[in-house]
Structure 1
């Protein structure tokens, strides 16, 4: 009878425990676990919705030298003739474009405008945009184009001149492709001139020290960092 009574008592206790749920000790630890899971999920969501920060890679040594740009004489939008000698002693960033380009050129010029803003307080830097459609890109046309991008008269040059000289400069000195599209191949999808979208960084001796994609934000951040490094050389 005692064993039956004991069994009945144990069964009653088990029933009572089941009815009331977990013991306070178990409930406490389950609460801790749930809080930890919630905190981890919350942290993950916060990271997912935070804006991505651009990390500029660290260089382990000086910038490489890819070669020197040969001398040239071209016409700036103000009507003045300029040459490589006018850039000696300055760090400069060059690109090739043309004013009627509807594809990559506006993106590149907007990026160059951003670089101009970022380097506004930095002395010793000149931006140089060279037209690959010089027959149409007269100084007057370049002046109108430059206004669109708030180009500084002294700090951002727009150059035009002899097409043969410019093409040779692009291909032989800057090592960038440029090719005029045959008239029968031109369309809304194919520009009149095919050219590189690279920005080229040159040092105070007009030596090429780097190439950067004109439509890549990370590359442009690296370009700005490299400009500042060159100014210390």
Structure 2
């Protein structure tokens, strides 16, 4: 009698296992085919640079499969202080290359930067790094006067001067933002009018373009009020403000 009960128990267990397989295994297979598991794994990979807390949808600039970080630098700012890349750690900041006697795009770029500065006024984790490409003229005193003229008040906005060759190397190689001397152009120097956006961990960040690739840089010449220039290119200052706000939320 006990043997029969045992057999009935085995039969019941086998039936339950069979029923589970019929009902649930196809659902698990469908979930894998639908990439639900893959999506979860991808999320964990996307936050590998910051495994804790919030991370925005802004892309990292990758070169040779590695996210590009700001290179090391050390210059003197408008207050005579030595400023390095370490001083910007834990801050979201913008990078520009300019010179104080620039007769064309620099005044427009810096007016836009001042507007951005005022938008994020009072935030200790926002700053700007401005590197002059004409250090022979742009001494500490000249940069100090320039800062006062444009209303630069953010204590994390450093206008920096140093060795010209080091500045050009930083621009062209470190940030891939063109800067150089050209005696045939007005002012004697030419440079990009773009801004680079850096996150709190020193990575260059940007949003996607229409093809899903990082935009890399943001147009710094056209103001929000202008909306577009004579060539029909639209302003990106409003876009930049949105993306700064995103990075400020990251840990």
Give yes or no for TM over 0.5.
Answer: yes
Task: With the length of structure 2 as denominator, give the TM-score of the two structures.
Answer: 0.64
What is the CA deviation profile of residues 126-164 of structure 1, one whole-angstrom value per residue up to 9, with x for unaligned ones? 112110101110000000101111111513211110111
Worse overlay, 139-148 or 121-130? 121-130
Taking structure 1 as the reference length, the TM-score comes to 0.69
How far apart are the structure 1 equivalents of 2:221 and 2:191?
14
CA distance in 2, matches of 1:123, 1:221: 21
Indicate whether 1:81 and 2:82 are aligned: yes
CA offsets, 1:92-148, max 9 Å, x none?
A: 111111000010000011111111111104331011211010111000000010111
1:69 aligns with 2:70: yes
**Which runs of structure 1 show a deviation greater than 6 angstroms over 4 or more consecutive aligned residues?**
none
1:194 to 185, 190, 194: 190
For 2:166, what is the secondary structure of its paired residue? helix
1:215 to 2:216 alignment: no
Task: Say if 2:129 and 2:159, in contact at 8 Å, map to a contact too.
Answer: yes
Unmatched 5+ residue regions in structure 1? 1-60
Deviations 1:168-192 (A, max 9, x none): 000111101111013xx24xxx331
Q: Note the residue ranges of structure 2 that are not aligned, 5 or more in a row.
A: 1-55, 62-67, 207-216, 225-234
Higher helix residue share: 1
- Asked if 1:206 corresponds to 2:210, the answer is no
Q: How many residues align?
A: 168
Q: For residues 27-48 of structure 1, give each alpha carbon's deviation from its aligned partner in whole angstroms, at most 9, with x where no partner exists.
A: xxxxxxxxxxxxxxxxxxxxxx
The structure whose Rg is larger is 1
Distance 2:195 2:123 in 1: 19
Cα RMSD for the two superposed structures: 1.3
